[in-house]
Amino acid sequence: MPAETTPDDLEKAIIAAWRAESARLVGALTRMTRDVDLAEDLAQDALVAALEQWPASGVPDNPMAWLMTTAKRRGVDHFRRADTLSRKLPELEHAVGKEGEMPDLDGQVDWIEDDVLRLIFLSCHPSLTPESRAALTLRLVGGLTTAEIARGFLSAEAAMGQRISRAKKTLAANRAEFELPTGEERTRRLDDVMAVIYLIFNEGYAATAGEHWMRPDLATEAMRLARMLSALAPDEPEVLGLQALLELQGSRMGARLDEQGAPVLLETQDRTRWDRLLIRRGLAALRQAEEIAARGTPVGTYFLQACIAAEHARAGRAEDTDWRRIAGLYDVLAGAAPGPIVEANRAVAHGRAFGPDAGLAVLSAVDAAALGDSPLAPSVRGDLLERAGRPAEAADAFATAAALTKNAGERTVLTRRAELNLARASRT
């Protein structure tokens, strides 16, 4: 180990290698053992071995090869002790090769990448709830620890561990196949995979509960998963649309809090703090999706939302935003995926493009009951009323929204806007 490398630096390097390679490792081991629980255990054993050995030997040139070989050898040891020795041992010994020899991973890239895609589909199996899919995806594909996942979703570590354990047992009970689905089943499952990644991002970008307005680690991991999925399914415009959407929205995270940690709304953000690299990546993915769509491949809601996010990204100042274009895109989105959340956001766009009364007209048709206890509808109503010069009504709407939200950061914003409008009303 070089003298200038500290133990903390080395541990970070090991964890970084694990995050980069864990999905490929667990996927390959699942293919070999046909047991996702055992595959993860073997991969974790390899990580522990790395934490023990790399401080003395240094990080190897090919961390994936080292981890894979170590995990496979642990698998051989496991099956030597198991009753299934005669069935499993020859397969694993062949995978390990001669003692001390690293597997030719470069020659197996396509196979290994297919393993990752299989693992993503397995993590999002229809027998699991959306919450369990998200947790298992972060665990198996994202390489996050149970503690990290629990923190991200404001859950106790023990409870999250139980959820992940139950998810694995459900997969085993349903005899979930470690194979890529085909045809309509593949399309349905791909939709499930994208929905899980989108759920993870949204929980990181705008947390539904807790003290913090954002959980950047979750949003960043979702962006990484979306890029991974795009690399594995590069001809799917909707997958590219998801990547574009998350990166374009994620580019704003550095500007969504001020120096005191208070939330900053889109129109007042310092756009010089937006991440230009994420914007370039997002726009590039969107262009790629557009090229594929031009050849006749249908697009969906993530693509349309990415088009909306791109309009914001291209505007150097808030006043440069093409709200008429955004309103038109929301009209198309509402036709493709009607629902109260889309309509509430369409009301915002129409309010900016055609005046607050136009936005209020759209909002009046929204089924508020379908939104349950979400603060979305009253917060949008408060914004439109504020712009319409009706501060007393706006204050009431913002106060209602503040009482509904479970997120402390959002409550701060809504309460402040309620107070400002109440003050304006008192002066009139």
Same domain, 205 and 309: yes
Tell me, yes or no, whether 103 lies in a domain.
yes
Same domain, 208 and 287: yes
Distance CA 209, CA 207 (A): 6
Tell me, yes or no, whether 387 lies in a domain.
no
Residue 426 backbone zone (phi > 0: left; psi -120 to 50: alpha; other: beta):
alpha
For residues 346 and 358, the answer to whether their CB atoms sit within 8 Å is no
Residue linked to tokens 């374009």: 248
Distance CA 286, CA 244 (A): 6
Residue linked to tokens 């009046």: 364
| Res. 132: pLDDT tops 90 | yes
pLDDT of residue 371: 87
Same domain, 305 and 195: yes
| Res. 328: pLDDT tops 50 | yes
Q: Which two tokens stand for residue 240?
A: 């590219």
E strand or H helix that includes residue 210: strand 209-210
Q: How far is CA 66 from the centre of its chain?
A: 29
Same domain, 294 and 193: yes
Tell me, yes or no, whether 352 lies in a domain.
no
Distance CA 325, CA 117 (A): 36
Number of domains present in the structure of the chain: 3
Domain final residue pick, 267, 301, 321? 321
| Res. 213: pLDDT tops 70 | yes
Same domain, 25 and 137: no
Banded model confidence at residue 136, pLDDT cuts 50, 70, 90:
very high
Handedness of CA 233, 110, 197, 259 (dihedral sign): negative
Strand partners, 210: 407
Domain final residue pick, 298, 321, 344? 321
Same domain, 243 and 205: yes
Same domain, 170 and 192: no
User: Residue 351 in 3-state DSSP?
Assistant: helix
Banded model confidence at residue 89, pLDDT cuts 50, 70, 90:
low
Where are the strands (E) in 21-97, listed by range?
A: none
Same domain, 62 and 138: no
Q: The CATH number of the domain where 134 resides is what? A: 1.10.10
Distance CA 333, CA 259 (A): 36
Quick: pLDDT tens for 32-84: 888 888 889 998 898 899 888 888 888 888 888 888 889 888 888 877 776 55
Same domain, 212 and 252: yes
For residues 242 and 195, the answer to whether their CB atoms sit within 8 Å is no
Distance CA 405, CA 210 (A): 10
pLDDT of residue 181: 79
User: Residue 407 in 3-state DSSP?
Assistant: strand
Using a pLDDT cut of 90, give the percent of the chain over it: 53
| Res. 108: pLDDT tops 60 | no
pLDDT averaged over the chain? 87
Quick: pLDDT tens for 6-30: 667 777 778 777 877 888 889 888 8
pLDDT of residue 8: 72
Tell me, yes or no, whether 155 lies in a domain.
yes
Same domain, 206 and 89: no
Banded model confidence at residue 207, pLDDT cuts 50, 70, 90:
confident
Distance CA 351, CA 363 (A): 10
Quick: pLDDT tens for 163-190: 999 999 999 899 888 887 777 887 888 8
- For 291, the domain range is 188-321
Q: Name the residue with higher pLDDT: 214 or 97.
A: 214
Q: Which two tokens stand for residue 155?
A: 């859950």
Tell me, yes or no, whether 383 lies in a domain.
no
Count Cβ atoms below 10 Å from residue 161 Cβ, excluding itself: 18
Same domain, 251 and 215: yes
Tell me, yes or no, whether 326 lies in a domain.
no
Banded model confidence at residue 116, pLDDT cuts 50, 70, 90:
confident
Q: Name the residue with higher pLDDT: 117 or 421.
A: 421
Tell me, yes or no, whether 331 lies in a domain.
no
User: Residue 256 in 3-state DSSP?
Assistant: coil
Tell me, yes or no, whether 277 lies in a domain.
yes
pLDDT of residue 82: 63
pLDDT of residue 90: 61
Banded model confidence at residue 248, pLDDT cuts 50, 70, 90:
very high
Same domain, 243 and 134: no
| DSSP notation for 113-168 | HHHHHHHHHHHT-TTS-HHHHHHHHHHHTS---HHHHHHHTT--HHHHHHHHHHHH
Handedness of CA 14, 19, 23, 26 (dihedral sign): positive
